[in-house]
Structure 1
């Protein structure tokens, strides 16, 4: 009998017994064999075997061999310092969970996309193997670039170790610290270097036998999920589910019966991750935060916007839609130092000849960095809190600044404060192909749906079809339970080739052709704008194009090339961090969603000769990309 989803969840929610095999002595762990490391996860591995659906010899030769090598390599290393799966054995467990989620999603999808039934049948097992291996490898670069691992031998000698050197020898000990100043997401580049160490040679040969799949697989393990197509979408979604379950469903030592971590704890964990990973830069001109001897002062709207994006992208449940609600939660639990009865301080920040007045949240350094040695130095930064209280708790990071200070901001458009009436009907929302959008719906799944990465149409189109034998029906039921509500009405996909192209498009450049198609579609009303399924919205700062959906509407086969050529035109506004992609939040009375977008400023819109309707009040541009 197949294992039910409920049984698997009980395994996930059970205490992690990986650390019960040994306790660290003076911060050191014994190097163990693969059998001992995998023993606490036997139930999950049995489920993986059933989802793979291959003969025993095939399983042992390709799958179990990889699991053994993976466990021997990662040992009891954590997956992060202060975020998801941060305890001993976290990296191993996270890899297994992502592999499970990926195989569960894969069983409802016909791959490769747009192939004949004969080709899909012949490559079925190969694509399943690509999902499995990509899931295990996706975070494998973390011990290389994020962690400092010291190996101690029985003879008393010790030296630095990296996974590139191969597994640690049994009989040795190791301890782990995290590098300071590490670069966010740098670990994603390392996975191809470690693949030959982990994958059996015949497994690598098998993946290489399908060049198109190999290209997508390499993109996926390096974090380029949009370039990886359906394979990248599966692994990205599987990863976020594992992260969300670990952060939102963890059991705290103080409250053994608690299933969901308090919101304040998750908010603090998210802030700590954003700050220590460098996503919220500190102590420089235009930074998101500044430190003095005892406190960190976070630019209020920028930090809260980034925190909400981060939590929603992880799929965490019960996330507030208003910044003021987040600040209230932080204040009520003593995480921020209040300014009288308010959470916000008005501060004058000076670095050399740079000066700006900002609305900030004040948090003790010990909340972010419990270890005093890890705290950053605020040398060169002067912070003068003002005795004047800010007007509101939802001030943007520009409010309170003088005209001179405004000129020192990075060259990016001003950002509005949230303005979502609580008693109004929902405003038109953008497409939510991967989510119901009901974050607070008590009837939703335990695994929250993802709101940030639009998935290819294939991910939703394939569900409900048999992929192999009668056992697939149960897998599909599990997928539908997880995916409940995600098959929203597909956005319109007008064909780019059925419309006239102007003289500019005659050059053959895909970016200019796309621009001509966009201009014609807006002029004729053929392309929807500011509607629930629209890929185009007007906001206060200009025009936003939902990516990658708008490019897939134009050319489903070559959308990635079109997107790159569009970027070459340099019509879009780049973010504060010099990135191409912005994040927008669409909010209504009962739902919210995130969109990845390109922003075309009002000046560029005028030069393009476009006449646009009023702004969509439901869509707000966030600070972080």
Structure 2
């Protein structure tokens, strides 16, 4: 006869967490909630309905749970504070962005408040998945909180629990999509119904952001704001906690952004199409390889364009993060990179090896066909490859500023002008660098303007007959119609570019627009200072003598 199971009591050495009331939870974050109230800029009734209600529901669901066991926001109430801070900065960032840019003014006037509300909710719930995937909550008798069924505060009240304890799951994978199952406990159906009024995109973009899912055919501006704000908040918390707690594990939040950058490059960049001539990605029977540090420079440039803080500038540091996350695997105990010899290569190339092709190609798109042969070689390189020797532009030349300046432009400091002094590099490196034309704008440029102008400038790398801009004597001519095609109001672009002195025009007292022949028709447009574009020979332009700031 078997004995009845002995009740499992939690070790008394763990003090656990006190089952605080909802009022105490909200009161502990009163200062931050007051800042959110000011940022919303609505009456008390509207704030209570649109912001305070989801805040209270979110606090009831996560209670005093930490965000991580031993890293950022690891203190009691860390997950609550993380959500509120991201929500605040994401909401603040909406002031510098245009949603529904292709809609009429009256339609945008109706949708903008809904976009701001949805962005706030997306920031609040961006890490909601952690309560389901990363930890287990138990009471003193070992009874587990059914996280999918009820908020933690409700479960504690129903069972009259005075203290509860957290057990962290070992090597729990990040599963952001689980946040969608917890979202109904925070956001009522009536809120989603209101957000969907008059449009079909706000709710899908919100759910995609909370669940970490892609949105096809159009950029998810809401998710972009939330991602930037999350990176800012985590980066600031890590720096602050270094003084209070010793040495937290810096960089642990960056793996998701690095992997996301690799996937975006693999799906959008022609240089990342595998197994093509001069490709950065090679896939053979012995694995998937990325040329290094070229791929690191591409990922760093992409993430810096996203205005994410804390992105390492060293390719070695990026590789260390990928190795620690299990994304890449080292060659041996003394060498992290591999030597490969792709077909047509003049010699061996340095590369990193990813642990699985699914890291780059997952979801509906299938992995490409691997080469029939192997890529790894034991031959030592006889010379430094020119592409590998080309360093990424230093931050000072990219006008980098912190994300806080991007989401809160009123606090932004002046950005130094790009240097015109030519770098002392070899002709081979100059030729490689000149092969790619790209926008090099100050980081405090409105992100919507940056994205639209950057995509226009990038067309200069293709056939001149299909390019969306052209070079003129004093700079790059950008038709206003191309800005409008990308959902950007020309007046906004002129104001943003003019404030940073990125435009060239003869009379500062008149509008900066000019008319010229473009594609066989007289077209109105702007002339962008060529010093804000990389890959051009500045000696061929009649650049104004006055410095551009």
* Per-residue deviation, residues 220-249 of structure 1 (Å, max 9, x unmatched): 33334654957x324433432332343256
* Aligned counterpart in structure 2 of residue 128 of structure 1, from 89, 100, 116: 116
* Aligned counterpart in structure 1 of residue 453 of structure 2, from 491, 512, 523: 491
Rate the CA distance shift 1:56–1:318 in 2: closer, same or farther, 3 A.
closer
- Answering whether residue 146 of structure 2 is matched by residue 176 of structure 1, we say no
Following the alignment from structure 1 to structure 2, what is the Cα–Cα distance between the partners of residues 491 and 311?
A: 17
1:382-531 equivalence runs, <5 A: 395-397=350-352, 406=375, 418-420=388-390, 439-440=395-396, 445-447=401-403, 477=410, 484-486=444-446, 487-488=449-450, 490-491=452-453, 522=463, 524=465, 526=467
Rate the CA distance shift 1:441–1:94 in 2: closer, same or farther, 3 A.
farther
* Aligned counterpart in structure 2 of residue 315 of structure 1, from 284, 299, 308: 308
Unaligned ranges ≥5, structure 2: 1-11, 264-284, 338-348, 354-371, 378-384, 416-442, 488-533, 536-549
* 3-state secondary structure, aligned to 2:403: coil
1:223-262 equivalence runs, <5 A: 223-224=212-213, 226-227=215-216, 232-247=220-235, 250-251=238-239, 255=243
What's the CA shift for 1:93?
A: 1.6
What's the CA shift for 1:75?
A: 1.6
Following the alignment from structure 2 to structure 1, what is the Cα–Cα distance between the partners of residues 460 and 452?
A: 22
Following the alignment from structure 1 to structure 2, what is the Cα–Cα distance between the partners of residues 271 and 237?
A: 18
* 3-state secondary structure, aligned to 1:38: helix
Unaligned ranges ≥5, structure 1: 1-23, 289-298, 336-343, 349-357, 362-393, 409-414, 427-437, 451-458, 460-474, 495-517, 535-551, 558-616, 619-625
What's the CA shift for 1:273?
A: 10
Aligned-CA RMSD value: 5.5
* Aligned counterpart in structure 2 of residue 222 of structure 1, from 197, 211, 223: 211
- Answering whether residue 250 of structure 2 is matched by residue 266 of structure 1, we say yes
- Between the two proteins, the alignment pairs up a number of residues equal to 372
Rate the CA distance shift 1:314–1:117 in 2: closer, same or farther, 3 A.
closer
What's the CA shift for 1:205?
A: 3.0
Following the alignment from structure 2 to structure 1, what is the Cα–Cα distance between the partners of residues 398 and 466?
A: 39
CA contact (8 A) 1:37 1:71 kept: yes
Rate the CA distance shift 1:311–1:250 in 2: closer, same or farther, 3 A.
farther
**If the length of structure 1 is used for normalisation, what is the TM-score?**
0.47
Aligned to 2:363: none
1:114-125 equivalence runs, <5 A: 114-125=102-113
Rate the CA distance shift 1:140–1:245 in 2: closer, same or farther, 3 A.
closer
Following the alignment from structure 2 to structure 1, what is the Cα–Cα distance between the partners of residues 227 and 454?
A: 29
Rate the CA distance shift 1:421–1:81 in 2: closer, same or farther, 3 A.
same
Rate the CA distance shift 1:196–1:228 in 2: closer, same or farther, 3 A.
farther
Rate the CA distance shift 1:25–1:173 in 2: closer, same or farther, 3 A.
farther
What's the CA shift for 1:70?
A: 0.2
- Answering whether residue 86 of structure 2 is matched by residue 98 of structure 1, we say yes
Following the alignment from structure 1 to structure 2, what is the Cα–Cα distance between the partners of residues 178 and 440?
A: 42
What's the CA shift for 1:42?
A: 1.2
